Each structure stands twice: as structure tokens, then as C-alpha cells.
Structure 1
Amino acid sequence: MSKHITTFIILFSFSIAFGQEITGKELLEKAIQYHDPNGNWATFNGTLQVTMETPKNKPRVSTIKINLPKEYFYVKATRDNKTTEYTVEKDTCAIVFNGKTDIPVEDIQKNNLSCERANLYKGYYEYLYGLPMKLKDEGTIIDPKVQKKTFKGKAYLVLKATYTEDVGKDIWYFYFDPKTYAMEVYQFFKNEAKNDGEYILLTEEAVINDIKMPKKRAWYYNKNDGYLGTDILK
């Protein structure tokens, strides 16, 4: 009888250990449940006020409007005496510079104003403020194996994401608190062997449309921990 009990205990222990392992998709679902418990990102319609602080530059203050159901994006950014406004609505684009729609060619060239840049801003803000929900977008490949890493002295569950060729070539890692599943760090590489790319530390939270978003995002180089700047969500 004792032999059977011992065997059962061993098998039971293995089943518990196996059950404690979490897959990439399961981790992503838990993280989304933490950040967007009511599934509001899919119909997000809101305004973000973001200040970017960078070394040796004055702050850049941006007002960002995102309406996902209407495929509408707007950003108004001011630094020094320059104000740039981009609007993207479905397949249309509009640019305003210092309050003018009739922009001199020299200003267009000097300030790199283009609809391509407008769409880059759209993708940038919707991706970063839509995380981790955006990791369910088509073209995102979630590694089924969850890694356990210590970063800046704290243990994390780490999700690796790559992308289909038509979406992107960078390799991303997302670091989640193992108890709450809050996203606290993310990191990307263009060539991981060269340790290039950047990591971003997320601190504090702002709740917008019942979605928990990072209030502060501090950017650093992977290679030398060089500080790049901080985005602050007002």
C-alpha cells in the first residue's frame, strides 16, 4: 500500500509542477486581463496628454486622440516655437505646421513633414499605449515558452514576440510581474547578438477608459544603459 501511495504522490507532484508552467498565450491573456479587464481597447476612443523629456532638449508636449472604431488618429506636438499637427483618418492624411496648412517647401523638408511620418506616429502611439493588447494583432508571433528572468534585481515572467515579415523584423521581450501580471518592462532588438536596441522601464499607472496604461516610460539603450528620455502620460 505504501508503495502505491508513494507512486501517487510522485505523479501528483509532477502534475502540479506541470500545471504551474504557463504558456506564452496564457501569460498574454492574464496580462490583458490585468490591463484591460473589460476589453475596452478594441473600441478605444480617448485623448492622451504626453510630455516627452529628453536630455539637452526642452520637453515636447503632445495631445493624442485615438478613435479605433473610426480609424481616426490625431497628434499635436509642440516643442520650442514649433507646433506640428498630423491627422490620419482611414486612408486620408492632413498636416498642419504652426497653424498653417499651406506649408512652404523649406519647412516641409526641414521638419520632415509627410503623411508617411503621420502614419509612423499613428502606429507608434497605438502600439505602445495599446500594449499588451496589441500583441494579439495579426502578424504577431508569440513564443509558446515563457522565460523567467531577473531584470534590475526583480524576477519576471518574460514573453517573447516576433513578427511576420510584412509586419516587422524586431525581436521584442515583455516583462510581467509574476503575481499581478502587470507589464513593467519591455525591450527590443534589431540584432540580439549585437545587443542593440533599447529597453523601456514602465512605472506608475494611469487609468484611461478603464485601461491601465503606464504613466511613465523611460527609454535606455540595451548596450550601455544610456538614457534616452521619458514619456509622461498626464
Structure 2
Amino acid sequence: MKRYFFALLAIGLFSIITGHSQSLSADEVLENAIAFHDPNGNWANLNANLKVVMETPNRPERTSIIAVDFPNQEFTLDVEQADNSYTYKINGESCEITLNGSKDISGEDTEKFRLNCERGNFMKDYYTYLYGLPMKLKDPGTHLDPKVQKKTFKGKEYLVLNVTYDSEVGTDEWYFYFDPATYAMEVYQFYHDESKNDGEYILLEGLEEINGIKMPKTRAWYVNKDDKYLGTDTLEKI
């Protein structure tokens, strides 16, 4: 009898949580998610160092040290992989690149390691976008579908926000999956063309607190079409 009672209680509590969540607008779900991940509003003035270790099948481990100083518009990326290292230092519009400690980089190495300022700014946007989620969903050029979707993904039920962007910001369509009880972001997914089921999904596990911001500890990347595993990156404090 006790077991039956507790089962009913659990179902009832879940119904209350999901029922309340379903009544929220997309803006309210986003605000709740931001309150979970960045309760003190620290993201906009972040000044911190991050370490990201990337593991991909059949490739050497890659370690990236990322330094961001938003108030001074500074971004530094130090990458080590196999026997090589390279650095991007971006300050506002200026960009400095070194390979194995030298600014004198041959054309062959420039092409081999894709060392150019366009790539450096892409990496800056990449890291600050993904580790700035869900706060970055309030950036200009971001369009949040007002309808909150309810989806089951990998056996768990989520509240899902659909996001598109102005063409100069990005052309992919994104879906962000939030736990209906805590509003923690646990999955995100993007498509270049959803009708083709292309693009990728990313599973988030654990949290690393950086300057009061709860960021995903690990991100595992997969292809939407066939669930092919692409790699995992792990965030560490420095």
C-alpha cells in the first residue's frame, strides 16, 4: 500500500511540475533557465580562464586554454595538440597569431593549421556562444519561437525552445532542451536543413561553476541522422 501511495505521489508531483511548466511562455522558460545557469548575472562581465579538453575518435587529444575578458574586449585561445601549439590573441579589432611560440609562420603551416584572423574570430564566437548559453539567447538577431514545445529525448521529457537567427548571425535552426523541474539546459541540437535531418545534437552532463556561472562540464557531440559519435569536450577550472 505504501509503495502504491508513493508511486501516486511521484506521478502527482511530476504532473504539477510539468503542468506548471507547460503554462509558461518561451520567454519565461528562458528567464528561468538563465536564473539557473547565471543567477547573479555575471556573464556580461565575465573575466575568467577556462580549460577545455577535446577527445575525438582517431585524433590526438586537443587541449584549449581560453581566457576571456569581456569588459576589455579581450580573448585569448591557446591550443595544444600532438607536438604543436598555436595562440590567437584578439583585442577588439586587433588579432595576433603565433605557432609554436613564433609569429613567423610559413604559408604551408598557415594553411595546415588554418591560422588566420577570420578563424580566430570564429573560434572566439564559437566558445563564447556555447559556454554563454542560455544567456546568449537574448543577444540581438536571435528569434525565440513563442511556443514552448514538449519533447521526449533519449527517454527524458524536456521543455524545448526553438531558435532561429538573422542571416548575418547564423543560418542554422536550434533547439534547446531544459529540465522541466530545474530549467537546467541538458541538450541542444541544430539543423542546417531540418527536412534532411542533418546537423548535430549535443548531450550535456554535469556542471562546472565558473565565476558563479553553471556551465556544462562535458559536451558529447553526435550526428542527428545516424547518431554517429563525433567527440566529447570536458571543461575544467584553472
Alignment TM-score, normalising by the size of structure 1:
0.91
Does residue 171 of structure 1 match 2:156?
no
Q: Which runs of 5+ in 1 are unaligned?
A: 1-16
Does residue 211 of structure 1 match 2:213?
yes
Indicate the residue corresponding to 2:10 in structure 1: none
Extract structure 1 runs of 4+ deviating beyond 4 A. 17-20
Between the aligned residues of both structures, percent identity stands at 57
Matching of residues 1-234 of structure 1 within 5 Å: 21-234=23-236
**2-side partners of 1:125 and 1:18: how far apart?**
33
Contact 2:22 2:148 in 1 (8 A): no
Deviations 1:107-149 (A, max 9, x none): 1122211000000000000000000000000000000000000
Give, in angstroms, the shift of residue 20 of structure 1: 5.2
Indicate the residue corresponding to 2:5 in structure 1: none
**1-side partners of 2:160 and 2:184: how far apart?**
11
* Counterpart code for 2:34: I
Give, in angstroms, the shift of residue 58 of structure 1: 1.4
Indicate the residue corresponding to 1:11 in structure 2: none
From the CA coordinates, give the structure whose radius of gyration is larger. Answer: 1
The alignment of Structure 1 onto Structure 2 pairs a total of residues equal to 218
Q: Which runs of 5+ in 2 are unaligned?
A: 1-18
Give, in angstroms, the shift of residue 19 of structure 1: 9.1
**2-side partners of 1:125 and 1:165: how far apart?**
20
Change (3 A) 1:162 1:41: same
**2-side partners of 1:19 and 1:25: how far apart?**
12
Contact 2:206 2:217 in 1 (8 A): yes
Partner SS state of residue 107, structure 1:
helix
Change (3 A) 1:144 1:110: same
Change (3 A) 1:117 1:19: closer
Alignment TM-score, normalising by the size of structure 2:
0.90
* Counterpart code for 1:119: N
Deviations 1:157-189 (A, max 9, x none): 000000011111100000000000000000000
Deviations 1:12-62 (A, max 9, x none): xxxxx7995111111100000000000000100000000000001111011
**2-side partners of 1:125 and 1:141: how far apart?**
20
Contact 2:202 2:222 in 1 (8 A): yes
* Counterpart code for 1:233: L
Change (3 A) 1:83 1:18: closer
